Amino acid sequence: MQLRYAFRLYPDAAQQAALARAFGCARVVFNDAVRAREDARKAGKPFPTAGQLSTRLITQAKRTAERAWLGEVSAVVLQQSLRDAEAAYKNFFACLKGTRKGPQLGPPRFKSRKDARQSIRFTANARWSITDAGRLNLPKIGPVKVKWSRTLPATPTSVTVIKDAAGRYFASFVVDTDPAADQARMPETDRTIGIDLGLTLPQRGYPHRGPLRRHEDRLPALPAARGEEAEEGPAGAVPQAEGIQEPGQGPFQGCPCPCQGR
């Protein structure tokens, strides 16, 4: 099983500039791959293979004056950008054939420097590492400060550096784990925990009705679908949850504190 662990990064000014170059180079290679495929489609020619694109858009492009700056970043970043373009086309063709499950995807689009999310990926071939001081050492970027919130259960196979719309940086590690070993590592306990789903607190005695209101238009059709007769009731009436009392009722009626029974 593969798990993903994300941690906050704090690159300095020089490292932010190096990451910006890496984001830009990866974006250019991705767009060049999409353009090469589209040109071949319009000309009625076979799509260039991943190997041909790698030779043309990376190896040969570095020797030209227009793309010489591609050599300023790790070659693994550029290769992974080509893999992303290849995967996007495979998913698109699978959707056309109807062999892909899930939402239908369109053809790959050109990336923009104004996109809210920028990312680059380093595999083991890039020889990135975690230093003894706990920094993430990336090729041609340097050791970046990491806010470690937990310990990685195993050695990561790859790391993706992400910059979000708020200008924050994150490192997303992919770790191969064994579910049986993970379960054996967990201590035995008979306790349970609850998860806060972020629902708003009840106000004036009413429960949170957001999900109910989103689906209440389906309520009249449910009895018919089960072959039952729908119960008559006032139009727009919302079923009252059992045990929830209206404002001014119940044990808090006449409470002298400012809560007013809320």
For residue range 93-151, list pLDDT tens digits in order.
Answer: 898 888 888 788 888 999 998 898 999 999 998 999 999 999 999 999 999 999 999 88
Asked if 262 contacts 205 with a C-beta cutoff of 8 angstroms, the reply is: yes
Give the whole-angstrom CA distance, residue 91 versus residue 96. Answer: 9
pLDDT at residue number 199? 52
Mean pLDDT rounded to a whole number for the chain: 81
- Residue 238 pLDDT > 50, yes or no? no
Which residues face 8 on adjacent strands? 147, 170
| pTM summary value | 0.68
Bridge-based pairing of strands 169-176 and 142-147 is: unpaired
Say yes or no to pLDDT of 179 above 70. yes
Confidence check: pLDDT of 231 > 70: no
Using DSSP's 3-state secondary structure scheme, residue 190 falls into: coil
Q: Cβ neighbours of residue 173 under 8 Å, at least 6 residues apart?
A: 4, 5, 6, 7, 152, 156, 158, 159
> Is residue 259 classed as helix, strand or coil in its secondary structure?
coil
What is the predicted pLDDT for the residue at 65? 93
Could you tell me which residues come within 8 angstroms of residue 139 by beta carbon, excluding any fewer than 6 positions away?
74, 76, 122, 126, 127, 128
Per-residue pLDDT reduced to its tens digit, 58-79: 999 999 999 999 999 999 999 9
**Close Cβ partners of 112 (under 8 Å, ≥ 6 residues apart):** 27
Cα separation, 49 vs 56, whole angstroms: 11
